[in-house]
Chain A
Amino acid sequence: MNTGAVRPKGQTENSDMNTSRSLAWLRERYDISGLELFFKKKEVPIHSHSLWYYFGGITLFFFVVQVITGIMLLLYYRPTAEAAFESVQFIMTEVRFGWLIRSIHSWSANLMVLAAFIHLFSVFFMRSYRRPRELTWISGVFLLLLSLGFGFSGYLLPWNELAFFATKVGTEIVAVVPFVGEFLLKFLRGGEEVTGATLTRFFGFHVAVLPMICTFLLAFHLLAVQKQGMSVPIAMENKPMRVMPFFPNFLMRDFLGWILALGVLVAIAALFPWELGVKADPFAPAPAGITPEWYFVFMFQTLKFIPAKIWFMEGEVLGVLAFAIAGVLLILVPFLDKKSNAGQPGKALSVIGVLVLVYIIVMTIISYVMPQTF
């Protein structure tokens, strides 16, 4: 069926005429021929793995949701140990639709991290990081780390019991970093202990420092993607392939993905409102069931499994160092993977990727199946 018949012909013509008038208005004032040419020429490859292209856009959508809902929460949130919990309580009970905004903000943060992880692994397995997209990959890995930073700093802001103790445990881990651990601990906490100073500090990171860095990195990441176009899996390179125009065909598909993501987000946020818990009491004993955010759980679980002493090193120090090295290796993947740069998809790297993915999933499941305190 011709879908063009759904709408009366006159309406389509009116719409096209309005678009042309707007473009003409812009052309009179600015030279947008380069931009127009870019949109006209840019094409997106279509193949059996095209679905994974959308996860970058979905991550970006959740980020935009975070920015909008975050600004709305800022209107009422007060970043002090005395008022933080009460202000979030006020948002959830007194502010019209405040419960929904806060719930969307919390759920969207988690979905954003999930989408970012899927995006990272899909890019990894498709070797999309290979030359000339090395910097796109590196900026992407840093953006994922920033997302984790957003999650860690935002978790404390409601100043509830679970967040307080999870932050206490989480920040304690940096203390084991050789030479600078103690300094990092004090820098993060704003003192020896997790106090109101930590909350104010985390608030600063969450709403100023991290967004500023994120804006620059994101701008670069998006610009690089637009400039270099979508990567094609190695196996399909230099072969006949179907393509679609980026504008408007692919962008509309992206838009459809965002709408569906919005539907999922709203449904989860409304059906499972994010809990507030009880106000943090620094003098109370740590309650049972303290868990970090799910995306940190595999690391915490690993640290728990590592023996207290391995050779001459503390087990925890070794674990933290191992994760740090893994992070560096992740960043350097485009330079380490010589084969894909030579146009050969190496199987070894795929096996490593699968093992890492399985490891993360298994460790996370173990942590939730075996209830424990951290």
Chain B
Amino acid sequence: MRFPEQKLIVSLVFLATATVAFCQEQGPASQVNSCISCHLEIGDELAVPIEGMKGDVHATKGLSCADCHGGDPTAGLDGDSDAAMDPAKGYVGIPDRMKIPEFCGRCHSDPVYMRGFNPRAATDQLDRYKTSRHGQLLRKGDRKVATCTDCHGVHGIQNARDSRSSVYPLNIPETCGRCHADSEYMQPYDVATDQLDDYRKSVHGMALLERGDQAAPACNDCHGNHGASPPGAPSVAFICGQCHLNNSEMFLSSPHKTAFDELELPECEACHGNHAIEHPTDEMIGVGESSICLDCHEEGSKAYDTAALIHDQISGLKERMFYADSLVSQAERAGMEVSEALFQLKDADDALIKARTMVHSLSGDETSIITEEGLGLVEQAVLAGKSALEEIQFRRKGLAVSLLFILILALGVYLKIKELDQKHPIREVK
């Protein structure tokens, strides 16, 4: 039958073309790579690594199969695969899952070797991994915990700055979620599996996943990556303080710090939550219905009064800013030049942000310094807005008076024209 023969010829031509193409991509040294030729020849799942390696960061740096798996890629071209996969020549084959961190660490923990590719490359991943929850459980023989390849992939690993990488910031929540959102997989560990769903709805998750704002934290920014572990109660403020520095410092010097330590409350998380952190509102502080202060403090206590005072200070500044903004906007819409007042309102807005941060100090006196400063700016903007609106009225009146004078003048000239037309009459010429 002709058909199977044709199929075979086409397959061989395709295989040869693919081999040549891949070898050309790898450069002259890999033109005699028996790993590639054999794996492609056998095909099926053994060919998958070859295909995956085409875009792999290691391959682009000139590394080949033998650099990780050992063996001799120059041997075996004659069909003697044992010669190529000789343990005496360092052949490792598929590393045991328990040994993967060390397998990768042979290069990635070697500063001298890594410097050849990237002088600034970190080489502490293996050490950190050993301190992580994943690393500790692996050492205890737990084969389910994440190792290097679970997060980074195997063949086809991309640079972490490449948007196709599984550890690119925008992809990290999904990568961690592959295990941590799988309730069946996580069942032996007694760990919640709703973190990914919570994170997606959080202020951080929306910023990162919806707006693509890479300044927003992914899982690894709080928990670490290679040294991943859940933050303990006394370290939460330090974790959040990586970004929210002022809030963290104020909290650490506030009365809450000691009280939370005694009650073993998880610092920032106690008020803001963790994975499901929402955008904080001014109503969170104070004694209103949405106040979180009332979760711990009762009416009549000093803390209750302080919460009410701080809320009033911030609300007072906000209300006055709203009033000033409406005045200035009205004047601006009427074509008045109010840029100075707009700058003052911008500065007042900065003061409001500072005051909201100052809330973490839990000191009404300190918050009032900021809100008073903001109020001073707002009052200047109010004055500018009022004065601009008065100026509009003045201009309108001035315009009316000017137009009246102009009309009277025009009328006078018109009457003069009439008079002149009689004195020097229009005549007909031929």
Q: Is B398 in contact with chain A by the CB < 8 A criterion?
A: yes
Q: Is A3 in contact with chain B by the CB < 8 A criterion?
A: yes
Please report which residues of chain B, range 388-426, place their CB below 8 angstroms from some CB of chain A when the two chains form the complex. Answer: 395-396, 398-399, 402-403, 406-407, 409-410, 413-424, 426
B414 in contact with A256 (CB, 8 Å): yes
Given contacts A241-B429, A272-B335, contact A2 B410 (CB under 8 A): no
Which residue numbers of A lie inside 8 Å of B, CB to CB?
A: 2-4, 6, 43, 46, 89, 92-93, 99-100, 240-245, 248-249, 252-253, 255-256, 259-260, 262-263, 266-267, 270-273, 275-276
Shortest beta-carbon contacts, A-B, top 4: A270-B399, A273-B335, A3-B418, A263-B406
B335 in contact with A252 (CB, 8 Å): no
Shortest Cβ gap from A139 to chain B (Å) = 28
A6 to B419, CA, bound (A): 10
A263 in contact with B403 (CB, 8 Å): yes
Chain A residues within an 8 Å CB radius of B420: 248-249, 252
A243 to B336, CA, bound (A): 49
Interface residues on B, range: 20 to 34
Given contacts A2-B422, A240-B430, A266-B403, contact A252 B336 (CB under 8 A): no
Q: Kindly report which residue of chain B lies nearest to residue A253, judged by CB atoms.
A: B417
A275 to B337, CA, bound (A): 8
Given contacts A244-B426, A259-B406, contact A270 B398 (CB under 8 A): yes
Q: Kindly report which residue of chain B lies nearest to residue A273, judged by CB atoms.
A: B335
With A4-B422, A253-B417 already in contact, 13 other A-B pairs whose C-beta atoms are closer than 8 Å: A93-B337, A93-B339, A240-B429, A241-B429, A243-B428, A248-B424, A249-B420, A252-B420, A255-B413, A256-B414, A259-B409, A263-B407, A276-B337
A240 to B395, CA, bound (A): 51
A256 in contact with B417 (CB, 8 Å): yes
Please report which residues of chain B, range 159-216, place their CB below 8 angstroms from some CB of chain A when the two chains form the complex. Answer: none
B427 in contact with A242 (CB, 8 Å): yes
B415 in contact with A6 (CB, 8 Å): yes
A270 to B400, CA, bound (A): 10
Q: Is B340 in contact with chain A by the CB < 8 A criterion?
A: yes
Chain B residues within an 8 Å CB radius of A92: 337
A263 to B413, CA, bound (A): 14
Given contacts A259-B410, A260-B410, contact A93 B340 (CB under 8 A): yes
| A interface footprint on B121-148 (CB within 8 Å = 1, 0 otherwise) | 0000000000000000000000000000
Sample of 14 A–B contacts (CB below 8 Å): A4-B419, A93-B337, A240-B428, A242-B426, A242-B429, A256-B417, A259-B409, A259-B410, A262-B406, A263-B407, A266-B399, A267-B403, A270-B396, A270-B399
A281 to B420, CA, bound (A): 58
Interface centre among B335, B337, B398, B403 (most CB of A within 10 A): B337
Which residue numbers of B lie inside 8 Å of A, CB to CB?
A: 335-337, 339-340, 395-396, 398-399, 402-403, 406-407, 409-410, 413-424, 426-430
A27 to B254, CA, bound (A): 95
B410 in contact with A263 (CB, 8 Å): yes
A163 to B418, CA, bound (A): 47
A241 to B430, CA, bound (A): 6
Chain A residues within an 8 Å CB radius of B337: 89, 92-93, 99, 273, 276
Cβ-defined partner of A245 (8 Å) among B406, B409, B413, B424: B424
Shortest Cβ gap from B226 to chain A (Å) = 39
A92 to B418, CA, bound (A): 42
Cβ-defined partner of A266 (8 Å) among B340, B402, B410: B402
A89 to B338, CA, bound (A): 10
Cβ-defined partner of A241 (8 Å) among B336, B422, B428: B428
Given contacts A4-B419, A256-B413, contact A270 B427 (CB under 8 A): no
Chain B residues within an 8 Å CB radius of A253: 417
Shortest Cβ gap from A69 to chain B (Å) = 15
A259 to B408, CA, bound (A): 10
B415 in contact with A89 (CB, 8 Å): no
A149 to B423, CA, bound (A): 44
A262 to B399, CA, bound (A): 12
A273 in contact with B336 (CB, 8 Å): yes
Chain A residues within an 8 Å CB radius of B414: 256
Chain B residues within an 8 Å CB radius of A242: 426-429
A3 in contact with B422 (CB, 8 Å): yes
Chain A residues within an 8 Å CB radius of B416: 252
A113 to B336, CA, bound (A): 26
Q: Kindly report which residue of chain B lies nearest to residue A265, judged by CB atoms.
A: B406
Q: Kindly report which residue of chain B lies nearest to residue A239, judged by CB atoms.
A: B430
Q: Kindly report which residue of chain A lies nearest to residue B424, judged by CB atoms.
A: A245
A65 to B318, CA, bound (A): 47
Chain A residues within an 8 Å CB radius of B409: 259
B417 in contact with A252 (CB, 8 Å): yes
Q: Kindly report which residue of chain A lies nearest to residue B414, judged by CB atoms.
A: A256
Chain B residues within an 8 Å CB radius of A275: 335
B415 in contact with A3 (CB, 8 Å): yes
Q: Kindly report which residue of chain A lies nearest to residue B384, judged by CB atoms.
A: A93
A2 to B420, CA, bound (A): 11
A273 to B392, CA, bound (A): 11
Shortest Cβ gap from A111 to chain B (Å) = 15
A262 to B407, CA, bound (A): 10
Q: Kindly report which residue of chain B lies nearest to residue A6, judged by CB atoms.
A: B415
A243 in contact with B399 (CB, 8 Å): no
Q: Kindly report which residue of chain A lies nearest to residue B417, judged by CB atoms.
A: A252
Chain A residues within an 8 Å CB radius of B421: 244, 249
B429 in contact with A266 (CB, 8 Å): no
A259 to B430, CA, bound (A): 34
Chain B residues within an 8 Å CB radius of A3: 415, 418-419, 422
Shortest Cβ gap from A13 to chain B (Å) = 13
A271 in contact with B399 (CB, 8 Å): yes
B403 in contact with A243 (CB, 8 Å): no
Q: Kindly report which residue of chain B lies nearest to residue A103, judged by CB atoms.
A: B335
A336 to B123, CA, bound (A): 85
Chain A residues within an 8 Å CB radius of B398: 270
A46 in contact with B426 (CB, 8 Å): yes
A100 to B403, CA, bound (A): 14
Chain B residues within an 8 Å CB radius of A99: 337
A99 to B391, CA, bound (A): 11
A154 to B73, CA, bound (A): 75
Chain A residues within an 8 Å CB radius of B422: 2-4
Q: Kindly report which residue of chain B lies nearest to residue A266, judged by CB atoms.
A: B402
